[in-house]
Chain A
Amino acid sequence: MSATIEDTFGGTGRRSLALPVTGLWRNGLLAAGTWLLASAVTYGLPDVITWGATELFAIVTLAGAILFVALSLTVHRLGSVGRTLVHYGPWFIVLGLWLAVWEVLTAKLGWLPKPFFSPPQGLLHVYVTDWERLLICVAYTGRLWGLGFFSGILVGFAGGVALGWSKRFAYWGMPLLKLIGPVPASAWIPCTFFLFPTTFHASIFLVALASGIPVAILTAAGVGQVNRSFYDVARTLGASNRFLIFKVAIPASLPNVFVGVFMGLYYSFAVLVVAEMLGAKFGLGWYLQFNTAYSAYANVYAALIIMALICAGLVRLLFVVRDRLLGWQKGIL
């Protein structure tokens, strides 16, 4: 009974300690199996159309399989990293299977044809041959995104606090925000060309707008929802308006602000492609458009995966920041 419960929660690590074969990670072995299958399919069956890097992909998946075999013996000595690996064991198994199926459907059978689809080795080929350009694109996009996102959430936050706090500000600002909010970023392009000295500035503005608006709306809502008694308490204790804003309104609305920042993060990534339409020479968005125009979809997929990984990484980072700032919520939520 308890074994099944442990299985459900990926607790195989703890259970296997009690087994005669000490410390064997079953899911690790299974993952090694599926990865080996992917490797064998890639190497053993002939390609319908030639793609570069077929052997390389077979080697990479084989290396993965060997790694999982090694891990299945040693994972329990790796501490917290090991526990994380054990937790994601089923995912590794499915990933190997998925690579094998993907390989068969594209390169081996050609059911998903070129150029719309690419087998895994097609993407690998892009990374191997075009990595320099991709790196430069990541750097350019990083600069644009960083400048746009951080200026956007800063202005959005300040504006949101003002909107939530001051009736006069809300009277003029709220209707404007509601009008501007739903307008798609691309609709701003004509104005931005006129308003900003360079296309780079215009691009920054678009990213800032996309990330700033949800932050402004949610911050304003958060400040507006603060329990009135908090203000009463602080006022009887001698708080000035400044104290009320910075020590009551802002900390109280911070959970809302973070929801806005998360939304802003997603929107900012969605708008990157549009922002890099404006005369950019490098950048992931530019790379996507450029390669779409040439039907080089393998390159498109390769860049998309990089973007998705970066976005996921940033979301993860934001969670860490939030948990640090909102540690007091632990036990409430």
Chain B
Amino acid sequence: MALALAENVVSNSIALDIEGVTHRYDLDGRDLQVLDNVSIVIEPGEFVALLGPSGCGKSTLLRLAAGLETPTTGRVLEDGRPIIAPDPDRILVFQDATLFPWRTVRDNVAIGLEARGLIRELEYRIDEVLKLVKLEGFADVYPHQLSGGMAQRAALARALVNDPKLLLLDEPFGKLDSLTRLRMQNELLELWKSAGFTALLVTHDVEEALLLADRVIVLSDRPASIVAEVRVDRPHPRRRDDAGLVALRRALLEKLGISHDV
């Protein structure tokens, strides 16, 4: 099923280098620093989670990696080249599905191909991807008729149809109910394994980070800087009650400033 996506696993991912990035916003004349000298090196095909308190600047990091903004100082590089503009190789998935309400699920998924003029050659991929995220029966439905989980799946399909080499996930399951979230986490993991893209996940859910990522990076409160970095060496599928993970969870919560008894 995922063969078409997994054909060239090697070239399907990129390395992301974040080099000494500091970023400020100008809010009505007030200077707001959100990132403070952040450096992260991500290998091709790696799954990295950014963990930190809400509003600490994690999302800004993703916007920089997507090319929606350029850093005030420092550099963001993909395979050694600076990122200066958005590119369908690096796709951002938001906490809200942000599906276009006037387009059916199929037409939403088609946007990337349409925008790049590839819709004729690659239209068949829409059905493939919809099948991949288990929405094949909902292709002609409008977004407001979908549940939260289905909408987020459609958003994933809209990203995956473009064969992204870097998938940037901004708390993608943050608004889903806990059961749907568990299911979607597993599905994301499957997609990552089969498609082979590099994944950078922003979350404030410690368990989610530990279950999914190869590496968890803990950021401080605003302006965000790196507090800790933890490698998670457990094979997938991971169990929530794995002793190693429980210990890591405790350590990470401590880094986030939350005491032992939680």
List residues of chain A with CB under 8 Å of any chain B CB. 227, 229-230, 232-240, 243, 247-248, 251-252, 254, 326, 328-329, 331-332
Among B90, B101, B144, contact of A236 (Cβ-Cβ < 8 Å): B90
Residues 114-145 of B, flagged 1 when their CB comes within 8 A of A and 0 if not, give 11100000000000000000000000001011
Q: In chain A, what residue has the closest Cβ to B92? A: A236
Q: A247-B111, A251-B102, A328-B102 are in contact. Are A237 and B91 (CB under 8 A)?
A: yes
Distance in Å: Cβ of A237 to nearest Cβ of chain B: 4
Decide yes or no whether B112 CB sits under 8 A from chain A: yes
- Residues of A contacting B: mostly: helix
Asked whether, in the complex, the Cβ of A247 is within 8 Å of the Cβ of B114, the reply is: yes
Among A236, A248, A329, A331, contact of B145 (Cβ-Cβ < 8 Å): A331
Among A232, A235, A248, contact of B100 (Cβ-Cβ < 8 Å): A248
Q: A247-B111, A328-B102 are in contact. Are A238 and B144 (CB under 8 A)?
A: no
Q: In chain B, what residue has the closest Cβ to A239? A: B115
Asked whether, in the complex, the Cβ of B68 is within 8 Å of the Cβ of A252, the reply is: no
Distance in Å: Cβ of A255 to nearest Cβ of chain B: 9
Chain A-chain B contacts (Cβ-Cβ < 8 Å), number:
71
Complex interface: chain B residues within 8 A of A233 (CB)? 92, 94, 98, 111, 158
Give complex CA distance A236, B115 in Å. Answer: 10
Among A238, A326, A331, contact of B115 (Cβ-Cβ < 8 Å): A238
List residues of chain B with CB under 8 Å of any chain A CB. 63, 66-68, 86-88, 90-92, 94, 96, 98, 100-103, 111-112, 114-116, 142, 144-145, 158-159, 162
Q: In chain A, what residue has the closest Cβ to B88? A: A238
Distance in Å: Cβ of A211 to nearest Cβ of chain B: 25
Complex interface: chain A residues within 8 A of B101 (CB)? 328-329, 332
Give complex CA distance A233, B145 in Å. Answer: 20
Distance in Å: Cβ of B28 to nearest Cβ of chain A: 17
Give complex CA distance A328, B86 in Å. Answer: 29
Besides the contacts A232-B66, A236-B67, what 15 more A-B pairs have beta carbons closer than 8 Å? A230-B98, A233-B92, A235-B68, A236-B68, A236-B88, A237-B162, A238-B86, A238-B88, A238-B116, A243-B114, A247-B111, A251-B102, A251-B103, A329-B101, A331-B142
